[in-house]
Amino acid sequence: MIILKSPREIALMRQAGQILAEIMERLRAFVKPGISTAEIDREVEAYLESRGAKPAFKGYRGFPATVCTSINEEVVHGIPAATRRLKEGDIIGLDLGCVVDGYYADCAFTLPIGEVPPRVQELLDVTRESLERAVAQCRPGRRIGDISHAVQEHVERHGFSVVRAFVGHGIGRELHEDPQIPNFGEPGRGPVLKPGMVLAIEPMVTMGGWEVRILPDRWTAVTQDGSLAAHFEHTVAISDNGPDILTRADQGS
Q: What is the pLDDT of residue 53?
A: 98
Count H helices, E strands: the chain? Answer: 4, 15
* 236 within some domain: yes
Residue 252 lies in a domain: no
- 19 in a domain, yes or no? yes
Average pLDDT in the chain = 97
The reply to whether 220 falls in a domain is: yes
Provide the residue range defining the domain that includes 128.
Answer: 7-245
Please give the tally of structural domains in the chain. 1
Distance of CA 43 to the CA centre of its chain: 19
Q: Report yes or no on 1 lying in a domain.
A: no
Which has the closest alpha carbon to 90: 109, 116, 108, 70?
116
Which CATH number goes with the domain that contains 142?
Answer: 3.90.230.10
Flag whether 251 is in a domain: no
pLDDT at 249: 84
CA distance 70 to 95: 8
**2 part of a folded domain:** no
Where the chain has pLDDT below 50, the residues are 251-253
Classify residue 250: in a domain, yes or no.
no
- What predicted TM-score, i.e. pTM, was given to this entire model? 0.96
Q: pLDDT tens digits, residue range 55-83? A: 999 999 999 999 999 999 999 999 999 99
pLDDT in tens, 129-149: 999 999 999 999 999 999 999
Q: Would you state the pLDDT for residue 251?
A: 41
